[in-house]
Chain A
Amino acid sequence: MQFAVLMGFVLAASSPLLNRWFGERTSLLLALFPAFLAGWFFSQAPLVLSDGPQLLEWSWVPSLGISLSFLLDGLSLLFGLLITVIGTCVLVYAGGYLKGHQDIARFHLALVAFMASMLGLVLADGLLTLFIFWELTSITSYLLIGFNHTDIEARKSARQGLFVTVAGGLALMAGLVLLGIASGSWSLSEILQSDDDLRQHALYAPMLICLLLGAFTKSAQFPFHFWLPNAMAAPTPVSAYLHSATMVKAGIYLLARLQPELGGTAMWVTILSVVGATTMLTGAFLAIHHTNIKKLLAYSTIMALGTLTMLLGIGSEYAMTAFVTFLLAHSMYKGALFMVAGILDHETGTKDVTAMGGLRSVMPVTAVIAFVAALSLAGVPPLFGFIGKELMLEAALGAERIQLLLVLFAFLAAILTIAVAAIIALRPFYGARHETPQTPHEAPLSMLIGPGLLAFGSLALGLAPAVLGADALLTSAATAVAGETLPVSLSLWYGVNVALIMSVVSLIFGFLLFKRWDSVRAQLARLAPVMRHGPEAGYEGLMNGVVRFSEWQTRLLQNGYMRNYILVMLVVLIALIGNSILLRHSPQLALSLDVRFHEVIVVGTMAMGALFATISRSRLGAVVSVGIMGFSIALIFILFSAPDLGITQLLVETMTVILLVLVLFRLPRFSNLSTNLERIRDGAVAATMGVLIFLLIITAWSIDQFESISTYMVENSAPLAYGRNIVNVILVDYRALDTLGEMFVLALAAIGVIAMLKLRHGETEGKATDSDKASVKEPYDG
C-alpha cells in the first residue's frame, strides 16, 4: 500500500510525459490509479470490518524508530474510499472540463500528487508522517488554487489559502510533538491503544490548543473560514475534490482520529461545540449572500464542516453515528453539486445563478443530477442526506452542554441550507430562459458520469443503507472515532420525533426563504459595511503589518554593503564565541614546538598571502593573495596525509578564484579606500577574530570528551562498506543522508545564483518589471 501511495507521486511526476503520449485520454488513464486503489480498499474492507484495525508496517529508519507504517481502520478506510472513489469521478470529469486546456499536464501533476498526499495523510500511522503528508496537501492545494496563475485573484487566493493552512500546520507540528512527548510514542496505533490517560497530562491544554489550531485552519472553521470561498478560484474539479470532499476534511479527520484519546473533556466539548456551531451558522448565513454558484457551495461546505466539528464536540454515541453518516453523505452530494456547478459554468460561461434560467430543456440530465444531489443536501427523504441530517439534529438535541444554543444554530443552519439547495437545483433549470455568454448544450458524457454516480449513490444509500454495506462501513468508522464498539444501523424512518418535526418545519421555512431570496439578498446588501470588518480584514491587516515590518528591518539590516554584513557577522561571532570560551573553558597553552622547516615555510606563505590581501590596492591582487592562502592550506592537508582533503581544497580554491575573478573583473577600481579610522576598526575586529579562532582550536584540542569515531570508521570502512577511501565512504555511505541534504543545498544555491544573475541580466536589457524596480539596488562600492 505504501508502495501504491509512493507510486502516486511517481505517476504525478510522469503525467506530463503521459500527456504527451496519450493526449486527451490521459485523464482516463490517470483515473485508473484511484480506481485501482478504490478496488484495493474494497477488498480490504471485509478484513478491517471483521478483524479490526490493520497495521501495515514498513520500516524506514528502524534505529530512530521512524517508519512509514499505515494504519487501516474504519476511519481511514472510510476516508480512503472517499478519496479514491471521488478521485476517480473527478479525474474523469476533469478530462471533459479541461479538454484542450494548454496546461492540463500541470493540472494532472498537482491533482495526482494531491491524491497521493491525501491518502498518505489519512493512512499514516506515524505522527511525523502524518504531518509531512498534511503539509503536502497544503502545497498541492496551493498549486491547484493558483492554477490560473495569470489571474491575480487566483494567485492571491492561493497565497491566502497557503498562509492560513501552513500557519495552522506549524501549530499542528507543535501539537503533534507535544502529543509525542506526552504519550511517549510517535505511532498513532500505539497512542490509541495505550492505557495512559492523556487528558490528565500536564501538557494536555497546550497540546490540544495547538492541534485544534491546525485542524481548524485546515478545515476552514470560524474565524479561519475565509480562505475556503476564495479558494474557489481553482478549476471546478479541484473545488469538488479538494475543497469540499477531501482536503478540507483533513482537520476533521485529525480531530476524529484523536477523539478517543483526547476527546470528552470540558475544554474539548466546549471549544469544538461552540466553534463548530458558529462555523455552521456563519457558513449557512453567508451562503445566501452570494449569487456565484461556487461561492454558494463553498459557504455551504463551511456549514457542513462546522456541523462535523460540532458533532465531534458533542461526543455522544448519537453524535458519532451522525458524524460518520454526515461525513459520507456530504462528500457525495457536495462533490456532485460542485461538478454540476462546473457543468453550468462550462456550458453557459457564467457562474451567476441569477443569470441562468430554464436550462432544464437543454440540459435534462444535468438538471436531474442537480435535483437529486440538492435533495440530499436539503435533507429530503429518501436520500442519504436526510439520514445524516436527522441524526445530526438528534445529536444536537441530546447534547449535554449548551444544548439550546446548538439546537437553535442547527435549526437555523438547516433552514438556510435548504434555501441554498433550492437555489442550486431550481434557479438555473426552471423559470424563463436567460441569455448567457455561451449557448448551453448538454455536457459530454465524461462530465456526467462522475456527478451522476455520486448523486445516485446518495439515493441508493438512502434507500438501502444496510444492503449496500454502508451500515458495516460506518459501524467500523464510528467505532474508530468513538474508541469503543458502536454499531450503526441506519434507517430512513425513526418514527415521529422532535428531529423529524424540526426537519419538516425547516423544509417549509427554507422553501419560503428560497421564494423570497431576491428581496432577502437586497436586504442583506445593507450589511455590507459591517461584513467588511470580518476575519478576512484581520488577515489582510496582519499580512500588511508583516510586510511593513520586513521592509523596516530589511532597510535596517540589509543595506547592500558587503563590508557591513561581514562586520556585523564577525562582531556577533566574537561576542558569542568569546563569551563561551572565556566563561566555560580556560584554554591551556600546552604546545610542543616541534615544527619542521617546511611547515614554517607553508605557514609563512599563508601569512604573507593574508597580509598582502589586506593591503592590496586592486581587487584582483586581493583575490590572488587569498588564493595563495587557500593553496597553502591544501599543502598542509597533503603534508598531513589527507590527500582527499588536499585535492578538494585545491579544486575548490581554483574554482573560487575563477568565480571571484569573473565577478570582480566587472567592477571598477576601488573608488574609495577606507579611512584610517575604519582601518583601525576593521583591523581590531579581524585581529580579535583571529585570536579567538586560535583560542578555539587550542580549546578544541585540549578537550577530549568523546572517543574519536574515526577509529571505528577506519576499522569498518573496508569490511562493511567495501571501500578503502574513508573520506569517500563517509560521504557516500556512513553519512549519505547528510550528503544528500548538502546536494540539495548546493543545487538551491546554484539555482539562486543563476536566477539572480539572469534577473540583473534582464534589467540591463530594459525588461525590468515593476517588481524588479522595487528591489534593492546593490551599490558598487570599494
Chain B
Amino acid sequence: MVKSGTIILNTAARFLMPLQLMFSVFLLLRGHDEPGGGFIAGLVAAGAFTLYLFAFGVSATKEVLRMVDPRDLIGAGLFFGMISVVPAWFMGQPFLTAQWWTIPVIDFKASTPLIFDIGVYLAVLGSVMGMVMALMEVDKDEP
C-alpha cells in the first residue's frame, strides 16, 4: 500500500530521522527534570523510524536498524527494567529503591531510574516498531 515516497518525503526523511533520534535521546536524558522521559522518547524514536519506513519501505528500514530485530529491543528493554531493580538489594535497601551516583567529570547524574527509563524507551520503541513493521510486511506481499 505504501508506495515508495515522493522526493520531498524521501529527502525530508533522510534528514529528519537522525534529528528525531537525537531529539529522542535528548528527551530521554532530560526526562527526570523537564518534560520528556522514556515513554515519550520511545514514541519519538518510533516515529522517526516509521517516517523512514514510509519513505523507503521495510527492507531499507531493516538495513538502517542493522541486525537489530525490534523484538530483541523489547527483550533488551525488559532486561534493563529488571536489572535496574537489583542494585538496591546489594545496598541492603528494599527492592526497587532508587540508587544515585554522580559521574564526576561530566557532572552527570547516573541512577537506576535512568536505567529503568532506558528500559522503558527500548520496550516502547521495540513494541511499536515490531507492530508497524509486521503490518508493513504483510502489506508488502499482498497486492
Contact = CB atoms under 8 A, between A and B. Distances in A.
A and B assemble together? yes
Contacts of B96: 736-737
A564 B134 CA distance: 27
B32 A757 contact: no
Contacts, number: 152
Interface in A344-372: none
B2 to A, nearest CB: 8
Contact of B138 (A728, A736, A760): A760
A592 interface: no
Contacts of A498: none
Given A652-B43, A737-B96, A725 B135 contact: no
A336 B142 CA distance: 59
Contacts of B94: 59-63
A669 to B, nearest CB: 14
B128 interface: yes
A743 B47 contact: no
A690 interface: no
Contacts of B92: 59
Interface string B104-142: 000001010100110110011011101110111111011
Interface string A738-757: 01100110110111011001
B125 to A, nearest CB: 10
Given A724-B33, A725-B32, A747 B127 contact: yes
B37 A731 contact: yes
B44 interface: yes
B37 A651 contact: no
A722 B32 contact: yes
A757 B40 contact: no
A544 interface: no
Contacts of A751: 71, 74, 130
A647 B137 contact: no
Contact of B32 (A59, A63, A723): A723
B138 A732 contact: no
B9 interface: no
By size class, the interface of chain B is 35 or more
Interface stretch (B10-18, B60-68, B77-85): B77-85
B16 to A, nearest CB: 14
B47 A764 contact: no
Contacts of B95: 60-61
Contacts of B71: 751, 754
A761 B131 contact: no
A458 B47 CA distance: 67
B57 interface: no
A485 B45 CA distance: 66
Nearest to B74: A747
B131 A644 contact: no
Nearest to A722: B100
Given A721-B98, A757-B138, A743 B123 contact: yes
A749 B127 contact: yes
Contacts of A725: 31-37
Contact of B47 (A651, A732, A758): A651
Interface string A194-217: 000000000000000000000000
A648 interface: yes
Nearest to B116: A732
A728 B40 CA distance: 10
Contact of B132 (A61, A647, A659): A659
Interface centre among B47, B92, B113, B126 (most CB of A within 10 A): B113
20 contacts: A59-B92, A61-B95, A648-B39, A648-B43, A651-B40, A655-B50, A658-B50, A665-B1, A665-B139, A723-B32, A724-B32, A728-B36, A731-B39, A732-B117, A740-B85, A743-B120, A746-B123, A747-B123, A761-B137, A764-B141
Instruction: Report the 4 A-B pairs with minimum CB-CB distance, sorted nearest first.
Output: A750-B127, A651-B43, A723-B32, A728-B37
